[in-house]
């Protein structure tokens, strides 16, 4: 298949392939690693509700908008906006997306590297020797403080990402998702049962599910919104790019609901694994990025066949992380391939190398650079905060305004209905896209400012 520029682009083979790939992009470290730790930092239950509200009220409509733009134009975000509104400044959404993709991938690969390392450490039995729960945390802390190990695993994860994206759309991406998605859900359910039956588990469940709105600040609301964009891979054109590989037969509305539903399920399950174990081990839920990696070995060690369980878990998490990181690299690469006419291999390898270098300070943020401050944060936190809490919501709000007011919800509706029978709930969607999404993001930015 070729697009308007006559370039060779891939297409999804099957409907399920597309849904799985989009869900693969969404489900990743954001659900399993980031969601529990920021929920812990933001007081638990009330934050979970805010996150769900953002995902349903803002995430769903924007995801559908991105898919629609992508399928309409069959182009990367920059090209797509240029095509829909030639010569206008709306194309900044595309450029911001490429920038956000670059920034996110730079530290995403660092955490992806942690999963690779934890596969190795499971296999050589380093994770099942802890005398007490605190030791698991100490072990992880000294691991992430080691500069050589950090950079090495960061490089390994980036190399894996590059290797998959090299093969193009269905060669690599589609296949990787088939096994991972159901597998990850199943193993999280098993771990959840173990976690919930640990002594003292209920205190953690209460923290996680009982909403105490007294703990919510403007910053928490911003983080909940940022997290909704981050876990659903929205606000930077990733779903425009994936939608651009779609053929006309897909049902965009039901694909959207499926992708969001599955992502929320994985996030909520991850919380039900982590918090009961946190209270069992008498750890602090506010620990931050290391929370999940410090807590999981505690759960594994209280199961039969701990080595097997932890290896399988980290392998699945690695695949989940890879199906996300490839979508980040794909956005960046698609821009160079479509707009600058680079060859796929060149775009992927050059940008992979650049992003790897950009990620080195993040890789060192838990060790040699842990005291370096960028606007009061470590480099890792700074890049994460900039990209996830600001660039993504801003890109998403602009996308909503573009579709709602400039391109027009009528045009979008036509595209949705091009092959499927009817766009149900189109009025609700139009309302959310035109009013709710832009206003919510603007209000949250303003609240954070004052």
Residue ranges binding ligand TRP (CB under 6 A):
25-26, 28-31, 104, 230-231, 233, 236, 238, 324, 327-328, 392
Question: E strands, 119-176, where?
Answer: none
Strand, helix or coil at 8? strand
Question: E strands, 278-351, where?
Answer: none
Residues 6+ apart with CB under 8 A from 252: 64, 67, 68, 71, 243, 416, 420
Q: What is the distance between the alpha carbons of residues 208 and 43, in angstroms, rounded to a whole number?
A: 8
Spatial contact of 433 and 409, defined as CB atoms under 8 Å apart:
yes
Minimal distance in Å, beta carbon 20 to ligand TRP? 14
Cβ-based nearer residue to ligand TRP, 144 or 392: 392
Spatial contact of 294 and 135, defined as CB atoms under 8 Å apart:
no
Minimal distance in Å, beta carbon 392 to ligand TRP? 6
Spatial contact of 166 and 172, defined as CB atoms under 8 Å apart:
yes
What angle is formed at CA 266 by the lines to CA 173 and CA 262, rounded to 5 degrees? Answer: 65
Cβ-based nearer residue to ligand TRP, 184 or 298: 184
Q: What is the distance between the alpha carbons of residues 70 and 85, in angstroms, rounded to a whole number?
A: 14
Cβ-based nearer residue to ligand TRP, 233 or 311: 233
DSSP percent split of the chain into helix, strand, coil, nearest 5: 75, 0, 20
Minimal distance in Å, beta carbon 26 to ligand TRP? 5
Cβ-based nearer residue to ligand TRP, 84 or 260: 260
Minimal distance in Å, beta carbon 417 to ligand TRP? 27
Cβ-based nearer residue to ligand TRP, 51 or 423: 51
Spatial contact of 336 and 347, defined as CB atoms under 8 Å apart:
yes
Cβ-based nearer residue to ligand TRP, 330 or 338: 330
Widest distance between CA atoms in the chain: 64
Q: Which residue's CB atom is positioned nearest to ligand TRP?
A: 30
Q: What is the distance between the alpha carbons of residues 436 and 449, in angstroms, rounded to a whole number?
A: 20
Cβ-based nearer residue to ligand TRP, 28 or 137: 28
Residue 435 has, within 13 A of its CA and on its CB side, a CA count of 5
Minimal distance in Å, beta carbon 421 to ligand TRP? 30
Q: What is the distance between the alpha carbons of residues 354 and 352, in angstroms, rounded to a whole number?
A: 6
Minimal distance in Å, beta carbon 161 to ligand TRP? 11
Q: What is the distance between the alpha carbons of residues 410 and 110, in angstroms, rounded to a whole number?
A: 42
Minimal distance in Å, beta carbon 231 to ligand TRP? 4
Number of helices followed by number of strands (H, E) in the chain: 22, 0
Minimal distance in Å, beta carbon 104 to ligand TRP? 6
Minimal distance in Å, beta carbon 413 to ligand TRP? 25
Cβ-based nearer residue to ligand TRP, 32 or 91: 32
Spatial contact of 294 and 287, defined as CB atoms under 8 Å apart:
yes
Minimal distance in Å, beta carbon 149 to ligand TRP? 22
Cβ-based nearer residue to ligand TRP, 84 or 184: 184
Cβ-based nearer residue to ligand TRP, 26 or 347: 26
């Amino acid at each position: 298949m070729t697009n308007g520029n006559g370039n060779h682009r891939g297409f999804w083979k099957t409907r399920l392939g597309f849904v799985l790939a989009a869900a693969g992009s969404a489900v990743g470290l954001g659900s399993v690693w980031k969601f529990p730790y920021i929920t812990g930092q933001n007081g638990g239950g009330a934050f979970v509700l805010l996150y769900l509200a953002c995902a349903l009220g803002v995430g769903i409509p924007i995801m559908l908008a991105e898919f629609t733009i992508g399928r309409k134009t069959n182009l990367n975000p920059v090209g797509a906006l240029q095509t829909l509104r030639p010569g206008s400044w709306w194309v900044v959404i595309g450029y911001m997306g490429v920038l956000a993709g670059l920034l996110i991938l730079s530290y995403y690969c660092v955490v992806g590297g942690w999963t690779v390392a934890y596969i190795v450490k499971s296999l050589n039995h380093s994770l099942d020797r802890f005398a007490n729960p605190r030791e698991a945390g100490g072990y992880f802390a000294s691991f992430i403080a080691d500069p050589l190990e950090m950079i090495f695993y960061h490089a390994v994860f980036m190399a894996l990402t590059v290797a998959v994206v090299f093969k193009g759309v269905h060669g690599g991406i589609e296949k990787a998702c088939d096994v991972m998605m159901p597998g990850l859900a199943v193993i999280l359910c098993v771990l959840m049962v173990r976690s919930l039956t640990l002594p003292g588990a209920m205190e953690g469940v209460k923290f996680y599910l009982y909403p105490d709105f007294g703990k919510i600040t403007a910053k928490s609301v911003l983080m909940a919104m940022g997290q909704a964009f981050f876990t659903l891979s929205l606000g930077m054109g990733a779903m425009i790019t994936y939608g651009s590989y779609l053929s006309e037969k897909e049902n965009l509305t039901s694909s959207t609901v499926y992708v969001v539903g599955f992502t929320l399920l994985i996030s909520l399950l991850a919380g039900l694994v982590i918090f009961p174990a946190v209270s069992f081990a008498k750890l602090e839920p506010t620990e931050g990025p290391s929370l999940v990696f410090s807590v999981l070995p505690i759960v594994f060690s209280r199961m039969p066949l701990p080595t097997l369980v932890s290896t399988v878990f980290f392998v699945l998490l690695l695949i989940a992380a890879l199906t996300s990181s490839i979508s980040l690299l794909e956005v960046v690469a698609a821009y160079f391939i479509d707009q600058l006419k680079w060859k796929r291999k060149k775009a992927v390898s050059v940008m992979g190398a650049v992003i790897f270098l950009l990620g080195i300070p993040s890789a060192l943020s838990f060790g040699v650079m842990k005291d370096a401050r960028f606007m009061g944060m470590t480099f890792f936190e700074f890049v994460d905060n900039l990209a996830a809490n600001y660039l993504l919501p801003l890109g998403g709000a602009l996308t909503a305004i573009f579709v709602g007011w400039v391109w027009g919800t009528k045009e979008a509706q036509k595209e949705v209905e091009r092959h499927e029978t009817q766009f149900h709930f189109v009025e609700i969607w139009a309302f959310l896209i035109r009013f709710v999404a832009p206003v919510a993001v603007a209000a949250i930015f303003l609240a954070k400012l004052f």
